[in-house]
């Protein structure tokens, strides 16, 4: 409905009566009183609305009916766009010759990689959400292209959906050839663009049919590495021009606070529940919470149509079935299946972005609650810190403490071997006792922020955690969009006013090691340069490296705390 609302806002100043005509035309032509217009009454409805019936009216569900959304879009002149499914046979024809016994009893025409074609681009998932030219896909020409239908949505809506909704499930760490692959991603986009329509079953269900076979279990790690590794190839180089419109993009989500919100859910909260990636969410109420060894679960209660899932309702009604509601009580529901009930959420789930909590007491209030569990000590990259006791072996070299920088002299220390991070026992004890839940808390409080600003070692440690979370594609740099998300995240955590765009740019210009330009020798191969050789300059985006980001983090934290204190003084 966002598209309709935008178009109405544009149309109303020039045509104040358009909304009233829309309502009366739809109600008069809906002779069956079902909230749907049968094709026999389309011409009548468009005539009452004062427009000619479009030659290509889009029947979104293919059942001969037009709902109010589709009718309004046509009256307001929305353009339709074709949606296609591009299929690539990764076996290059060999799958046809594989015996069905080796593939769980199913015969495959191909081992399918897929992408959704719309708005002149192809959107696909390969360890990152990618937008590519249709003739520039690493798998070559598609084996076949399936026409899925036409959509009234816009490219802007699709990109917003990718950034706000899909990224939570499809990110650089989530690719799995059996559980979350390119075909699952294509199905998400098809459902969004075509209002619930799914891609062909032979493509969508292929991993499910083959997952029990020994050959797939053996090849699974290699396939994950190959098909899920495209995110590494699109990371922007520090010296390259930033991702251009034609370059595939990855979305950063440092401002995603959905998990922190889940950690603070309580009995009585109303949330969205989606168990499977292909499901529409239900509005549910939490009636009980429990904890197992590994995670929290909930008992929920909600209403649903009897004997059907939401995506089956239209077909059930068209066949004359009755739509009756029942109360459902479901237990042992993992909290990761819950999503915030946002005002702008339509038929899909969305993540809780930090910016949404700034002026929304409903979500801000939840985030200010005490979490339900203690926090896991982690290195700046998020790996668990392992406790080590006893003196290190004489042949082992222990790196200095990552907080204080001193040699680790105590027998108690905490280590992340993957990142070569070590925290001495004294620093660990000091940080764990900080106000506001300690240094490993998932959300900063004003009390914890003050403790960090008074402790340079832990401030640097926490700043690196934000840096690595924002720099998810490991470029080693934070550009302005990522810095804006960090800024919004800190403001949301501290309930403070975020920096304006001009203030943010000013701070980045002050701290950026490149200051918008980069020295570059005339010979691009000779990056060191030689005496007497002329050196040119090239403009680069405004970016922060790890060192300058640490100072940016401290400055932003100080400004946010000052804002909080000023607001408190005004209130008193």
Catalytic residue chosen out of the listed positions 113, 184, 195, 472: 113
Contacts 24+ apart (CB under 8 A), 383-387: 383/416, 383/418, 383/419, 384/416, 385/414, 385/415, 385/416, 385/421, 385/423, 386/414, 386/415, 386/416, 386/417, 387/412, 387/413, 387/414
Q: What is the DSSP string of 295-329?
A: -EEEEEEEEEETT--GGGHHHHHHTT----EEEEE
123 φ, ψ (degrees, to nearest 5) = -115, 125
> CA 450 to CA 118: how far, in whole Å?
49
Asked if 336 is an active-site residue, the reply is no
Token code pair at residue 242: 């930033």
CA pair distance 96, 103, nearest whole angstrom: 11
Cα–Cα distances (Å) from 189 to 34, 62, 114, 151, in that order, read: 28, 18, 11, 11
Q: Which helix (H) or strand (E) holds 274?
A: none
Q: Rounded distance, CA 568 to CA 497, Å?
A: 13
In sequence order, what are the residues at sequence separation of 6 or more whose Cβ sits closer than 8 angstroms to the Cβ of residue 499? Answer: 487, 491, 507, 556, 559
Pair 508, 552: CB distance under 8 Å: yes
Give buried/exposed letters for 401-438 (b at 16+ CB in 10 A, else e). Answer: bbbbeeebeeeebbbbeebebbbbbbbbebbeebebbb
**Does residue 81 carry a catalytic annotation?**
no
Token digits of residue 127: 């360890």
What are the tokens at 331? 């237990």
* C-alpha to C-alpha distance for 408 and 397, rounded to whole angstroms: 10
Q: Which of 493, 497, 164, 481 is nearest to 343 (CA)?
A: 164
- Set 182, 236, 379, 401: catalytic member: 182
The Cα–Cα gap between 28 and 48 comes to 9
Q: Which residues are catalytic?
A: 113, 182
């Amino acid at each position: 409905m966002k598209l309709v609302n935008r178009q109405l806002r544009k149309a109303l100043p020039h045509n104040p009566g358009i909304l009233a005509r829309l309502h009366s035309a739809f109600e008069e032509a809906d002779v069956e009183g079902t909230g749907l217009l049968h094709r026999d009454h389309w011409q009548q409805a468009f005539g009452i609305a004062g427009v000619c019936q479009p030659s290509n009216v889009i029947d979104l569900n293919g059942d001969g009916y037009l709902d109010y959304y589709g009718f309004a879009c046509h009256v307001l002149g929305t353009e339709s766009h074709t949606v296609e499914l591009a299929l690539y046979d990764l076996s290059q024809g060999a799958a046809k010759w594989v015996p069905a016994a080796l593939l769980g009893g199913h015969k495959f025409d191909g081992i399918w990689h897929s992408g959704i074609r719309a708005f002149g681009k192809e959107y696909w998932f390969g360890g990152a959400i990618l937008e590519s030219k249709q003739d520039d896909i690493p798998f070559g020409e598609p084996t076949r292209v399936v026409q899925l239908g036409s959509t009234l949505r816009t490219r802007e809506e699709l990109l917003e959906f990718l950034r706000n909704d899909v990224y939570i499930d499809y990110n650089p760490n989530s690719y799995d050839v059996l559980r979350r692959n390119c075909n699952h991603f294509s199905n998400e986009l098809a459902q969004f663009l075509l209002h619930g329509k799914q891609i062909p079953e032979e493509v969508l269900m292929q991993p499910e049919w083959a997952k029990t076979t020994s050959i797939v279990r053996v090849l699974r790690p290699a396939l994950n590495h190959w098909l899920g590794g495209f995110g590494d190839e699109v990371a922007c180089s520090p010296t390259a021009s930033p991702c251009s419109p034609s370059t595939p993009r990855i979305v950063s989500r440092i401002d995603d606070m959905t998990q922190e919100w889940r950690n603070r859910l309580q009995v009585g909260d109303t949330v969205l529940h989606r168990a499977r990636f292909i499901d529409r969410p239900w509005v549910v109420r939490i009636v009980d919470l429990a904890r197992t060894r590994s995670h929290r679960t909930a008992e929920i209660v909600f209403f649903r149509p009897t004997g059907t899932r939401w995506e089956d309702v239209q077909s059930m009604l068209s066949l004359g079935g009755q739509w009756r509601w029942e109360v459902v009580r479901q237990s042992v529901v993992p909290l990761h299946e819950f999503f915030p009930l946002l005002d702008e959420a339509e038929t899909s789930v969305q993540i809780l972005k930090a910016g949404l909590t700034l002026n929304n007491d409903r979500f801000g209030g939840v985030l200010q609650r005490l979490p339900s569990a203690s926090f896991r000590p982690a290195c700046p990259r998020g790996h668990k810190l392992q406790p080590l006791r006893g003196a290190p072996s004489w042949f082992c070299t222990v790196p200095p403490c990552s907080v204080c920088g001193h040699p680790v002299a105590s027998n108690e220390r905490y280590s992340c071997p993957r990142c070569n991070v070590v925290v001495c026992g004294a620093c660990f004890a000091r940080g764990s006792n900080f106000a506001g839940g300690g240094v490993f808390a998932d959300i900063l409080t004003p009390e914890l922020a003050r403790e960090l600003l008074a402790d340079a070692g832990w401030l640097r440690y926490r700043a690196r955690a934000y840096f690595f979370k924002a720099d998810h594609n490991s470029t080693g740099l934070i550009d302005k969009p990522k810095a804006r998300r960090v800024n919004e995240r800190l403001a949301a955590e501290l309930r403070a006013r975020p920096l304006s765009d001009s203030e943010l740019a000013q701070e980045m210009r002050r701290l950026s090691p490149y200051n918008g330009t980069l020295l570059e020798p005339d010979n691009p191969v000779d990056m060191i340069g030689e005496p007497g050789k002329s050196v040119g300059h090239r403009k680069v985006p405004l970016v922060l490296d790890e060192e300058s980001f640490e100072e940016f983090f401290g400055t932003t934290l100080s400004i946010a705390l000052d804002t909080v204190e000023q607001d408190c003084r005004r209130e008193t």
